Amino acid sequence: MNLVWHIIRKDLRRLAWAYGAWAVAGGYLIVYRNLNIVQRSIWDNVGIVALFTFLALGIALIATVIQEDGLCGANEFWRTRPIAAGRLLTAKLVLVLASFAVIPMAFALALRPGQGGEFGAIGALSIYVLALAAVAACTKDLGQFLLVAVGCVMIAPALGGVLASVGPVGELTKPEAVSLSVTKIMLLHGIIGCAALGILINQYLTRRTRLSRWALATTVTVVALISGLWRWPLFG
Amino acid sequence: MNVIQTHDLTRRYGATEAVHALNLAVPAGSVCALLGPNGAGKTTTLKLLMNLLRPTAGRAEVLGVDTAKLGEREFAQIGYVSENQQLPLWMTVQQFLDYCRPFYATWDRALEQQLLAQFQLPVDRRLQQLSRGMLMKAALLASLAYRPRLLVLDEPFSGLDPLVREEFVHGLLEVSTQGDWTVLVSSHDIDDVERLVDRIAFIDAGRLRLNEPTEALQGRFRRVEVTGGSDGTDARAAAGELEWARSGQLTRFVATAYAGEASERDWRTRFPGATFNIQPMSLREVFVTLARTRATGAPGGAA
């Protein structure tokens, strides 16, 4: 466990300034959105910049944390050192999930208690963080990561929309439609989470990058198929 | 016991075969040079040995473990320095050592300090601010301080100016007296490693041409000049003779299987009445002869 913390400390030291900027943006958003102590009319533009910074920097930080000890090339320093892949994966997962899912959500929810669904929100955010980490694990650098991530985010819904428009159209009552929507959300989150975890484990433990990229493409396709063609409500 | 052993190790990139059925053995305690021209397959071989690449066919063992199964325990006993390695350049030298140290139970702080002083590394400077020579020294230090059983150096001298190269070799020579380790160092230039090694493996076009102790290699290579003894019409290169050339009464060749009196007796039979000038060859001359022979595709038998 000490070595896991050793790796986490190394990444935090490496990204200290970016983490600082991201935390400031996040802190401002929490204050702005939750405490209402800032006059919105004055700070609207700052709020937009803070939100953009928070999201963009957060996504870039997730990618950088993973790619700091890269998985796609044959020249990475860590691979010829006694750093077990499982240990490295643990360190990376602990860092990205704590930094970008648990702590921010805990802060946000602490300032707005009694809203309910806290664990669901943290779970959903964790799945998005895992998905971004999985894309980062299959790509060589930040540029390639952004290209693939944006591609996945655009292709899945676009393909899903096309499939929905050509697929069978059924008559659903309103409760059925709501149930279908919940079903799709649950299924998609489950699939994305499992696929992301599988890709991360494959990349770290076997480093079969081609297989991981195929899994990524398959996941995007399955997500599009479910969002476009799934017609069976399972959850209420 | 061999610290490194490969069995028909092969690696292809598409249609290109970078390493072909390589059977390399490096005995424990030896300092072996993996020599060959640029693009011969040296770096690919070392990456296969470090499990940085997967073999297309065949297999390799390092420290008695299949390279596909190399793990924490084995890498704690292996030092790897490569010109291509992506070091954490944002770290200072001190941070780099502090980061590496906890991963090794055998890390020797006294040796670390000694090497720091010996290599004259500025501990508070970032790796990205170091010259190439200094960077290689920092990488070497971080690969020596835990006294590895096996040290693998991939073209460590490439791009270094002569002065830094000399310092680097000097440093390696000094530390090599302090430990009982096996070293495999790749280079495209024999000059870089001549003073370091006691064994040479020569690889060309992905194929291992020879692998033997330097003493044996120098013992069996001779530059031979034969004056007279034949009118030249029926003179031919025999098996194991390279760079065979005849001009008038003078015949020159490199004998690759010199066996003392027996070889000389054989030559006297082939060239009756001739005089012989038989000279030992330096490792550099041997290397150049082998490289040139392969490059021109000249006949002369296996080296």
User: How far does Cα B234 stand from its chain's mean position?
Assistant: 39
Looking only at the bridges linking them, the beta strands covering B182-187 and B31-35 are parallel
Arithmetic mean of pLDDT, B280-301: 73
ipTM of the complex, rounded to two decimals? 0.86
In a shared domain, residues B148 and B235:
no
The share of chain A scoring above pLDDT 70, in percent, equals 88
Of the residues B213, B246, B270, the one at which a domain ends: B213
How many Cβ pairs closer than 8 A exist between chain A and B?
49
For B154, list phi and psi in degrees, rounded to 5: -105, 105
pLDDT at A42 over 60: no
In a shared domain, residues B100 and B45:
yes
Flag whether B302 is in a domain. Answer: no
Of the residues B177, B196, B213, the one at which a domain ends: B213
In a shared domain, residues B100 and B8:
yes
For B59, list phi and psi in degrees, rounded to 5: -155, 170
In a shared domain, residues B128 and B234:
no
In a shared domain, residues B241 and B261:
yes
Among A residues 122-161, those touching chain B with beta carbons less than 8 Å apart:
none
The dihedral over CA atoms of A178, A191, A65, B138, expressed in degrees to the nearest 10, equals 180
pLDDT value at residue B247: 84
CATH code (residue B11) = 3.40.50.300
Flag whether B271 is in a domain. Answer: yes
Position B301 confidence tier, pLDDT thresholds 50, 70, 90: very low
Nearest to A84 among B52, B72, B82 (CB): B72
In a shared domain, residues B98 and B241:
no
In a shared domain, residues B72 and B193:
yes
Name which residue leads in pLDDT, B219 or A229.
B219
Of the residues B173, B194, B213, the one at which a domain ends: B213
pLDDT value at residue A37: 60
Q: Which of A51, A61, A138, A136 is nearest to A99 (CA)?
A: A61
In a shared domain, residues B158 and B254:
no
Residue numbers in B near A18 (CB within 8 A): none
Is there a contact between B75 and A75 if contact means CB atoms under 8 Å apart? Answer: no
Flag whether B301 is in a domain. Answer: no
Question: Number of helices and strands (H, E) in chain A?
Answer: 9, 0
In a shared domain, residues B101 and B236:
no
Is there a contact between A75 and B82 if contact means CB atoms under 8 Å apart? Answer: yes
In a shared domain, residues B158 and B50:
yes
Nearest-Cα distance to chain A for B22, in Å, is 20
Q: Please give the mean pLDDT across all residues of chain B.
A: 88
Find, in chain A, the residue whose alpha carbon is nearest to that of B69: A206
pLDDT value at residue B120: 87
Position B224 confidence tier, pLDDT thresholds 50, 70, 90: very high
In a shared domain, residues B171 and B263:
no
Enclosing domain of residue B253? 221-296
Flag whether B52 is in a domain. Answer: yes
Position B302 confidence tier, pLDDT thresholds 50, 70, 90: very low
Find, in chain B, the residue whose alpha carbon is nearest to that of A82: B72
pLDDT value at residue B237: 76
For residue range A84-133, list pLDDT tens digits in order. Answer: 999 999 999 999 999 998 888 887 777 766 665 667 778 888 999 999 99
Domain count, chain B: 2
Is there a contact between B75 and A81 if contact means CB atoms under 8 Å apart? Answer: yes
Find, in chain B, the residue whose alpha carbon is nearest to that of A68: B88
In a shared domain, residues B207 and B284:
no
Residue numbers in B near A2 (CB within 8 A): 102
Flag whether B46 is in a domain. Answer: yes
Flag whether B268 is in a domain. Answer: yes
